[in-house]
């Protein structure tokens, strides 16, 4: 193993004193060049002759800290140092994904990125955009690292290289470039994501329609933009799809469109999905999304009946109805099934329930009578919810403690027989163990070894999560999960936290997916 003495190096992220490093630090830098040292180390990593885990965290931090000192004291070596840092980030990227966010590899990647981010001057960013990212002749890992760095910027110099990268075939370049462009207020970016939508609706392999949805959910398109008719045509096509995810996505994408451009197609879609629901097919979730959009646009509550909405729309077109006055058409909203006060609109649901040792705690204030435990109350709430949504609904249950446990690998009908089986399985289970939530979410989402969801197996459109404390993994994984997995899957997470011991994981899952969060005393 190649080692280097490290002395008086400031912590990563701190600045070098105005007078430069002290004499001892300069002596270290003169004895062995830190750039050559990291280059040699990286070459050994690439050849498999060494692993990052073989070095202590202090060694890694000090090696990158030395690079920061050289960059601060010898600006003429900026590009040489930036290149070796980019190559280190690029090498760490795939390895960090395989070994987990808490690994030394991921820590090294973050330290190298921090060193690069310490130099946000425009000329450096232009060099990254023009001479690294924009050149296919540069090593792939180096370009991937430049993308990771520039994805946090909104510099105009990065726009053209990002647009070019977003049209490449290499997914390690294309997808991060598209992610970096999400939310960018620019007509050329809007056009790019419209192309992605068209490819997605056509079933093209590798299309990123979920990123297009994320983009159009955050930007405003000018009313006179020539892109709006294209968006309207794609939304119309999505609303007519048979896949509930495509319809749900189309409802979200249609928000920038005018009443005239979308309302007739919303009413048609409501009629189709209402018919599907009556036939016992999966429909309730998307039906409610269409209904909420119509209610928002009209200011009225006319219920889930297409005929009432058609009558209203004809009156609007004749001019008999003006504005969006909050009126009702005699429709009284039905009371949906409740789980600890949550009322998800779904007929395809997976429950992810905490079975850790703390779930044996009695729930509610002391009254002198035997109190249900948190676990017993969760079981009763679960069974009551499924019973209320009716036998045509489909459900499953995943428990989590030190590892996930599934009652059934796929959703089953909420028949009397299946309800009896679920009750017996849950009744024979006792709380115990830890709070490993992430693995249970992966099981509920049908994640494969590569971290992607098999949408053909993922029937649930809603996941209801209950937990009574801080999770073993913490909340850091949630944002990436929602971006990389759930934007495609479109599952809504409704979450219940029992007690005050949460860590923010459930709140992030719920808010990031459009679901509800409730905290229950206990």
Give the model confidence (pLDDT) of 383-409 as tens digits.
Answer: 999 999 888 889 999 999 999 999 998
Say which range, 38-47, 154-163, 319-328, 413-422, has the weakest mean pLDDT: 319-328
pLDDT digits (tens, 9 = 90+) for 271-289: 999 999 888 889 999 999 9
Is it the case that residue 74 has pLDDT exceeding 80? yes
What is the average pLDDT value for the chain, to the nearest integer? 85
Residue 322: the pLDDT is 64
Q: How many CB atoms lie within 10 A of CB 224?
A: 6
Confidence of residue 414 (pLDDT cuts 50, 70, 90): very high
Residue 502: the pLDDT is 85
pLDDT digits (tens, 9 = 90+) for 41-68: 999 988 889 888 888 888 899 999 999 9
Confidence of residue 336 (pLDDT cuts 50, 70, 90): low
Residue 78: the pLDDT is 93
Residue 29: the pLDDT is 45
Is it the case that residue 73 has pLDDT exceeding 50? yes
48, 63, 229 from 224: Cα distances, Å: 57, 54, 10
**Average pLDDT of the residues in 237-261:** 90
Distance CA 108, CA 520 (A): 40
**Average pLDDT of the residues in 251-276:** 92
Residue 349: the pLDDT is 95
Give pTM, 2 decimals. 0.72
Residue 55: the pLDDT is 84
Residue 102: the pLDDT is 45
**Average pLDDT of the residues in 450-454:** 83
Confidence of residue 13 (pLDDT cuts 50, 70, 90): very low
Instruction: Tell me the β-bridge partners of 339.
Output: 342
Residue 380: the pLDDT is 94
Compute the Cα dihedral for 239, 245, 251, 256 and give only its sign. negative
Residue 202: the pLDDT is 78
Compute the Cα dihedral for 384, 386, 389, 392 and give only its sign. negative
Say which range, 5-9, 204-208, 287-291, has the weakest mean pLDDT: 5-9
DSSP 8-state assignment for residue 16: P
The four Cα atoms 132, 136, 137, 139 give a dihedral, to 10 degrees, of: 70
**Average pLDDT of the residues in 104-128:** 89
Residue 368: the pLDDT is 61
Higher pLDDT, 377 or 57: 377
298, 312, 490, 501 from 322: Cα distances, Å: 10, 11, 35, 50
343, 425, 429, 437 from 377: Cα distances, Å: 17, 15, 13, 19
């Amino acid at each position: 193993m190649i080692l280097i003495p490290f002395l008086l190096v400031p912590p990563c992220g701190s600045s070098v004193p105005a007078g430069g490093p002290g004499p001892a630090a300069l002596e270290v830098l003169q004895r062995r060049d830190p750039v050559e040292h990291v280059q040699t180390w990286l070459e050994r990593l690439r050849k498999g002759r060494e692993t990052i885990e073989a070095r202590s965290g202090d060694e890694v931090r000090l090696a990158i800290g030395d690079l920061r000192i050289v960059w601060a004291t010898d600006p003429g070596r900026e590009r040489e140092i930036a290149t070796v840092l980019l190559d280190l980030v690029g090498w760490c990227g795939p390895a960090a994904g395989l070994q987990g966010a808490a690994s030394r590899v991921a820590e090294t990647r973050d330290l190298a990125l921090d060193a690069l981010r310490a130099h946000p001057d425009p000329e450096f960013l232009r060099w990254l955009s023009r001479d690294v990212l924009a050149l296919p002749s540069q090593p792939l890992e180096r370009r991937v690292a430049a993308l990771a760095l520039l994805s946090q910027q909104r510099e105009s110099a990065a726009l053209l290289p990002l647009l070019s990268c977003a049209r490449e075939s290499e997914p390690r370049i294309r997808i991060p470039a598209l992610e970096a462009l999400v939310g960018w207020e620019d007509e050329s970016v809007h056009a790019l994501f419209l192309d992605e939508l068209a490819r997605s609706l056509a079933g093209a392999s590798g299309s990123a329609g979920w990123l297009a949805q994320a983009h159009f959910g955050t930007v405003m398109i000018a009313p006179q933009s020539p892109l709006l008719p294209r968006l309207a045509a794609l939304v119309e096509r999505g609303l007519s799809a048979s896949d509930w995810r495509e319809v749900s996505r189309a409802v979200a994408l249609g928000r920038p469109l005018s009443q005239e451009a979308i309302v007739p197609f919303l009413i048609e879609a409501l009629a189709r999905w209402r018919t599907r629901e009556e036939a016992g097919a999966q429909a309730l979730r998307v039906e409610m999304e269409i209904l909420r959009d119509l209610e928002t646009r009209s200011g009225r509550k006319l219920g889930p009946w297409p005929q009432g909405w058609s009558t209203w729309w004809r009156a609007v077109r004749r001019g008999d109805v003006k504005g969006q006055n909050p009126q009702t058409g005699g429709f009284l909203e039905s009371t949906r099934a409740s789980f600890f006060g949550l009322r998800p609109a779904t007929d395809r649901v997976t429950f992810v329930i905490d079975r850790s040792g703390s779930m044996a705690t009695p729930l509610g204030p002391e009254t002198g009578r035997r109190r249900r435990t948190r676990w017993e109350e969760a079981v009763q709430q679960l069974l009551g919810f499924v019973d209320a949504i009716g036998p045509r609904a489909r459900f499953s249950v995943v428990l989590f403690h030190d590892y996930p446990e599934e009652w059934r690998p796929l959703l089953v009908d909420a028949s009397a027989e299946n309800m009896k089986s679920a009750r017996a399985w849950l009744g024979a289970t006792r709380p115990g163990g830890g709070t490993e939530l992430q693995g249970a979410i992966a099981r509920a989402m049908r994640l494969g070894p590569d971290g992607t969801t098999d949408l053909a197996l993922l029937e649930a459109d809603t996941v209801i999560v209950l937990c009574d404390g801080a999770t073993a993994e913490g909340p850091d994984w949630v944002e990436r999960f929602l971006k990389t997995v759930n934007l495609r899957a479109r599952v809504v997470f409704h979450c219940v936290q029992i007690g005050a011991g949460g860590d923010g994981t459930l709140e992030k899952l719920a808010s990031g997916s459009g679901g509800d969060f409730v905290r229950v005393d206990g």
